Amino acid sequence: MKNEIHIIYGTNPIQMVQELLEKAKIAKDLDQGMSIALKPNLVVAKPSYEGATTSPFIVEGIIQYLLAHNYKNISIIEGSWVGDRTPRAFKICGYEAASRRYNIPLVDLQKDSSQEVMVKELSLKICQKALETNYLINIPVLKAHCQTLFTCALKNLKGCIPNSEKRRYHSLGLHKPIAYLAKALQVDLNIVDALNGDLSFEEGGNPIRMDRIILGKDPVLVDTYCSSLIGYRKEEIAYIKMAEQLGVGLADLTQTKFFEYSTELKNKVSFQPSKKAERLAQKVEALDACSACFGGLIHGLNRLEDSGKLNKLKGEILIGQGYKHQARPGLGIGNCTSGCPKYLKGCPPSALEIVEFLKNNLK
Ligand code: SF4
C-alpha cells in the first residue's frame, strides 16, 4: 500500500474523502481505542476558499468515516505560523464549528509541550501531542510556496513544532529541517486537499481550482506526485530528495500504483494560472526569511502595486535571518535587518506596517 496513490475528483469533499477512505480500506489499519490525530494545514486564519488552508469539509468527511467504523478517540491538532494564533484559525477556518458538531477536541500545538528528538546530528523539538498519537493523519493543502516553491505533505508537519523552532528552521534554510522532521515524526496517512490550493503563495490569494483529493501513505511519494501537479520536478524541491535519502519514503513514480475515482468529473477541472506573487517577490532580496515576514512583505508590495506606487520603489529590499548583524545598504524589513540604514522593526512586522514604511521611503 505504501506505493499506492488514490485520487478522487469532484466538488463534494465530504463524500469524496469517505469514498477514498473506503476504496483504500483504511479502517483495516486501525485498532479500537487507538488515538487518531488529524493534522490539517491552518497556517493562517483564512477560509479554505482563499487557497491556504485545509477544507473543513475534508476533515469532517474523515471524522464521519472514523465514527462510522467506531473509532472515537479522535483529535484535531495544529499550530498556526508565528504570525497568527491557532484558536483564531480554528474559528475562522470552520474547525470550531466542526469540533462542536462531532464533539472532537481541538489541540493548539502552539501551547503544547515539546520533546527533543535527534535525527543524525540535528536536534529537533516536536510537539508532544503529535509524537504521542497512535495514528497520525496528515491533511495538507497542495499549493505553491514563495520560498520552497511547493508545500504539501512533508512541509505540513512544520505545524507540529513549537514557534521557536519555526524561526530556527528558517535560519537552517528550511529544506533540511523539513526533511529531518519527517524522519522523526511518523505519518501514517496523507490526505491532500487539492481542491483549491494557491498557485504561488502559501498564504492564499490566488486559489486555483483543481477539484481533487489525493490519498497515500508515503509522504515522499505523495509530495513527488503532487509537486508534479503544479509544474515542478522532484529535483527542484530539495527537501523531497533529502527525505528520500533519509529513508522516509520513495520518490519513484514509475513504481507507483495509481487508482483514480470519479474520473468523469476531471473534465470540469479549471486551471487559471497567475504568477502575481512570484513577480512581486522578484523585488525582494530574501535570505532565510520566515514565511510570516516574507508573506507580509508580498502583501505590502501587492498593496503598493494596487495604489500605483510600486514602480516608485527604488533600491534593494532586504528580508530574512541571513542578514542578521550585517551592515547592508537598502531597506530592511524586520528586526533581522537592523544593520540596514533604514529598517522596519518587528518580528514579524504586519503587512500594514510594511506598506506604511515602504510608502515613506518611496523615491
Ligand atoms: S524579523 Fe522576520 S525573518 Fe527575522 S526572525 Fe523575525 S519573522 Fe523571521
Pocket lining for ligand 1, CB < 6 angstroms: 167, 170, 289-290, 292-293, 320-321, 334-336, 347-348
Q: State in Å: Cα 347 to ligand 1 middle.
A: 5
Digit-coded pLDDT (tens) for 198-256: 877 788 988 877 889 999 999 999 999 999 878 788 998 999 999 999 999 999 999 99
pLDDT of residue 275: 60
Q: Which residues pair with 125 in a beta bridge?
A: 116
Domain boundary among 245, 268, 291: 268
Q: State in Å: Cα 53 to ligand 1 middle.
A: 22
Domain boundary among 268, 285, 317: 268
Indicate if 202 and 337 belong to the same structural domain.
no
Q: Which CATH number characterizes residue 104's domain?
A: 3.40.50.11440
Indicate if 57 and 167 belong to the same structural domain.
yes
Q: State in Å: Cα 334 to ligand 1 middle.
A: 6
Indicate if 129 and 258 belong to the same structural domain.
yes
d(Cα 174, Cα 160) in Å, to the nearest integer?
A: 15
- Atom 8 in ligand 1: residue holding the nearest Cα: 290
Q: How many residues does the chain have?
A: 363
Indicate if 65 and 194 belong to the same structural domain.
yes
Q: State in Å: Cα 251 to ligand 1 middle.
A: 32
Orientation angle between helical segments 163-171 and 175-184, nearest 10 degrees:
130
Indicate if 163 and 296 belong to the same structural domain.
no
Domain boundary among 268, 296, 317: 268
Indicate if 206 and 301 belong to the same structural domain.
no
pLDDT of residue 26: 98
pLDDT of residue 86: 98
Residue located via cell numbers 493534522: 39
Q: State in Å: Cα 335 to ligand 1 middle.
A: 6
pLDDT of residue 279: 81
- Sign, CA dihedral 196-261-39-170, equals negative
Atom of ligand 1 nearest to the CA of 290: 8
Indicate if 153 and 284 belong to the same structural domain.
no
Atom of ligand 1 nearest to the CA of 334: 1
Indicate if 242 and 327 belong to the same structural domain.
no
Indicate if 101 and 234 belong to the same structural domain.
yes
- The burial class, CB within 10 Å (0-12 / 13-18 / 19+), for 25 is exposed
Q: State in Å: Cα 120 to ligand 1 middle.
A: 27
Indicate if 142 and 228 belong to the same structural domain.
yes
158-180 core/surface letters (b: 16 or more CB in 10 A; e: else):
bbbbbeebbbebbeebbbbbbbb
- Atom 6 in ligand 1: residue holding the nearest Cα: 347
Q: Which residues of the chain have pLDDT under 70?
A: 266-275, 277, 291-292
Indicate if 17 and 138 belong to the same structural domain.
yes
CA distances from 362 to 62, 277, 335, 351 (A): 50, 21, 21, 16
Owning domain of residue 157: 4-268
Site to probe by mutation for ligand 1, drawn from 82, 147, 293 as the one with most ligand atoms within 8 Å of Cβ, is 293
Q: State in Å: Cα 206 to ligand 1 middle.
A: 24
Indicate if 25 and 121 belong to the same structural domain.
yes
Q: How many domains does the chain have?
A: 2
